[in-house]
Structure 1
Amino acid sequence: MDELLVAKDAEARCGMMAIDLTTGAIVHWLRFEGIVTELYDVQVIPAVQKPMALGFLTEEIAQLITLEL
């Protein structure tokens, strides 16, 4: 893999993408900065009509995500 990146003058990146499986278009994406050693629990979400990404510092996240402790 490293040789391919060097050949393309590119660098490795880690992140997640929400992809519309009908069109193949990237709907949202999130890039992780720094060293990533593991990525857990990637999921396909069937029948989602309007996927969206939320910022962690927005008011929307407090209304849409519930953490159970």
Structure 2
Amino acid sequence: TPVTWTEAVINGWLTNAIYYYNGSDWGKTYSFETEAEAALVPWLGYWIELKVDDDTYHLRIPKP
């Protein structure tokens, strides 16, 4: 059953942050409080911290 980003954070499945490499510093974090504020910039690589490994999880990103 699909859930929102916020629900996944509340359930403890992932950290409420998107990590990216900006070319000079590993560990830069773009944190956000609501899913509407998050924006992915083209041509940057992102990763998230999944806190569970008991199932298969998918991140769905709708077209803007």
TM-score, normalization by structure 1 = 0.22
| Structure index of larger Rg | 1
Higher RCO (C-alpha 8 Å, min separation 6): 2
More strand by share: 1
